[in-house]
A and B are shown apart, each in its own frame.
Chain A
Amino acid sequence: MNLELLEGCTREMAENLIIIAKTLFVIAMAFGFLLVVIWFERKGSAFIQDRVGPNRAAILGVRLAGFIQNFADVTKLIMKEMFIPGEVNRIYFILAPFIGFTFILTSFAVIPFADNLRIGGFDIPMQVADLNVGVLYILAITSLNVYGIVLAGWSSNNKFSLLGGLRSTAQMISYEIPLGLSIVGIFMVFGSLHLNEIVRAQGELLFGFLPRWGIFVQPLGFIIFISAAYAEANRTPFDIPEGESEIVAGYHVEYSGMRFALFYMGEYIALVLSSALVVTLFFGGWQIPYLDTSDLIRHASVVLKVLLLGGAAMSLAAAIAFIGYAKRLKGTWGDIHDREGHVLTTFAVLALAVFLVVLFWLWNVEFPDWAARTIALISQVGMFLIKVLFFGWLFIWVRWTLPRFRYDQLMGLGWKALIPLSFINILISGLVILLVQR
């Protein structure tokens, strides 16, 4: 075997490995967000309704403010019987939960989570599939998501399910139109459908001080987009497909166990996807305001020091807070839960020690090029995750603040308000672009 062929082979293998690694990262990211967002939902709804929320499930006494409840829930759902009622259409009944879940998870493939990484002759785009049609791909795949709901509603052979399925079909096709039209303005401004290029264009400055984020150049588009995105994710105020006070729980009444869990997880992954899309199109994606990729690479050691110092400061604050918490907790429960404060304090102190050791160890190290690029990558991924997390919280905030629309109000808003508004938005964007270019 000659050397060039061997090199080609290893290169191809490396490329495949990179794609697999990216896929795993994106799936892990989606599921990690899933856990955090469900926790947000439980604790956030409790906070808004002046309740306590989940506070008992614990591992060795550590509750993490109810985060451990997730694992208890998952265990319960896995253990539960997946009951199939009589008179249902078995094939479609079993197939339906998978359809919705799969399509939602597939749409993450084109979301960019950092700038391209140039290492060792590779130019790796930080998204699983580097498609030119970017946003359209997400619109197309999420439009298929409705089949999961419709199939579930129809095959359950239950009138409430069928009503839920009908409602969701009507809602999804109505709101897909403003969703698609609202981002036409973004395409016009940034001149591309490619998500990573849209994000890169948002790194520039507007009037010399404002980051050129989508929300500043397309404010109306943003409002239309986020309303339609809430409707597409079936979230309150647009959650009439499941409206529990009207049609019990809509399309998933007949489901139990992990099949129900797939619907439940699908809903939250759709929420995360919508947040990621809002961030990518309107809030600069992975862009850190005022710092573009070349800046980050040039000042990699400063960036790393700031990150480590921030981490150290946060763990110090956490340690102090946890010590006070441990004191307050003493003897409250009279069981293993009392130890939580101490365990958390230990972890915070350990984290502080790790941050400080790494900081001293790296203080005077000169970074090679690949390390600098990796640091830039990590900081951009971190920025992206923080932004997505904020919008995930916004979804939950809105859900527990606004009441549900009536069916005719929902249709009225979609067809009579959002669609004309998005046409006006396209018209205005076109005029402004024409004026600016002249």
Chain B
Amino acid sequence: MEAVAFYIIAAIAVFGALLMITRRNPLAGAFSLVVSLIALAGIYAMLRAELIFILQILVYAGAIMVLVIFTIMLLNLREEELEEPPAGKIKTLIILAAVAFGCYGIIKVLSGAPDEVPRVPENFGSVEKVGELMLTSYLYPFEIISVVLLVAIVGVVLLAKKVI
């Protein structure tokens, strides 16, 4: 049951990612990426990582991708402005490389998979547990990331101000 659900969700994720790189229209590509991201969230949910599942949808699929789509729509690209698709030979080469890389990944994962899967601890992935860990064992990394984000925000405001 769980395996079937995993394969379906994984297939959707891969299919969405494939569509994203093959669509010529940037908006269609962005929507395909959304599909892929939501399917990934489904995989997180199957791993019992509740918070990551929600954040994946809320932040990536819900906020960042909406911004990306907003930008693409504002640019309002016309058909003739789009980049020419690569010629036939290059296309075949790219596809071959992608397939080879994919096969390598699958072999690597299959050969490296442990026979015994460790059990997840109680409360794994819940909001309480993640919050607790963030403010105890991982306090310094957490604070440093906050500072980095703050710097990024200040930088963006500064850059935008110059334009206005």
B-binding residues in A (CB < 8 A): 89, 92, 131-133, 136-137, 139-141, 143-144, 146-147, 150-151, 154, 162, 165-166, 169-170, 172-173, 176, 193
Contact = CB atoms under 8 A, between A and B. Distances in A.
16 contacts: A89-B28, A136-B54, A136-B127, A137-B54, A139-B58, A140-B54, A140-B57, A143-B61, A144-B62, A147-B31, A162-B76, A166-B74, A169-B69, A169-B70, A169-B73, A170-B70
Interface in B99-147: 126-127
B144 to A, nearest CB: 22
Contacts of B62: 140, 143-144, 146, 176
Given A92-B28, A133-B51, A136-B54, A144 B61 contact: yes
Interface in B36-53: 38, 50-51, 53
A140 B58 contact: yes
Given A169-B69, A173-B67, A193-B127, A133 B27 contact: no
Given A133-B127, A147-B31, 18 more contacts: A133-B51, A133-B53, A133-B54, A136-B51, A136-B54, A136-B58, A137-B54, A139-B58, A140-B57, A143-B57, A143-B62, A144-B57, A146-B66, A147-B34, A166-B74, A169-B66, A169-B70, A176-B62
Interface of B: 27-28, 31, 34, 38, 50-51, 53-54, 57-58, 61-63, 66-67, 69-70, 73-74, 76, 126-127
A92 B73 CA distance: 15
A133 B127 CA distance: 7
B73 A166 contact: yes
A129 to B, nearest CB: 11
B70 A173 contact: yes
Contact of A162 (B38, B54, B73): B73
A165 B70 CA distance: 9
Q: Which 7 A-B pairs have the closest CB atoms?
A: A143-B62, A140-B57, A140-B58, A136-B54, A169-B70, A133-B50, A140-B54
Contacts of B34: 147
Contact of A150 (B57, B58, B69, B76): B69
Nearest to B70: A169
Contacts of B28: 89, 92
Given A137-B54, A162-B73, A132 B127 contact: yes
- Residue in A140, A154, A193 whose Cβ sees the most chain B Cβ within 10 Å: A140
Contacts of B69: 150, 169
Interface centre among B34, B53, B70 (most CB of A within 10 A): B70
A38 B20 CA distance: 39
Contact of B63 (A131, A176, A193): A176
A150 B126 CA distance: 32
Contact of B31 (A139, A143, A151, A165): A151
A139 B51 CA distance: 13
A144 B54 contact: no
Contacts of A92: 28, 31
A154 B73 contact: yes
Contacts of B61: 143-144
A146 B65 CA distance: 11
B57 A132 contact: no
A176 B59 CA distance: 11
A144 B127 contact: no
A92 B27 CA distance: 11
Contacts of B73: 150, 154, 162, 165-166, 169
- Residue among B51, B54, B74, B126 having the largest count of chain A Cβ atoms under 10 Å: B54
Nearest to B65: A147
B35 to A, nearest CB: 10
A139 B57 CA distance: 9
A151 B127 CA distance: 32
A137 B51 CA distance: 9
Contacts of A193: 127
A143 B63 contact: yes
Contacts of A137: 54
A99 B48 CA distance: 26
Contact of B126 (A132, A139, A146, A154): A132
A144 B70 contact: no
Contact of A154 (B27, B53, B66): B27
Nearest to B54: A136
Contacts of A162: 73, 76
Contacts of A141: 57
B106 to A, nearest CB: 30
Contact of A132 (B50, B74, B76): B50
A211 B59 CA distance: 35
Nearest to B73: A166
A407 to B, nearest CB: 14
Contacts of B51: 133, 136
Contacts of B126: 132-133
Given A166-B73, A169-B69, A143 B58 contact: yes
A405 B11 CA distance: 44
Contacts of A166: 70, 73-74
A143 B69 CA distance: 14
A159 to B, nearest CB: 10
A352 to B, nearest CB: 50
Nearest to A153: B73
Contacts of B27: 154
A235 to B, nearest CB: 20
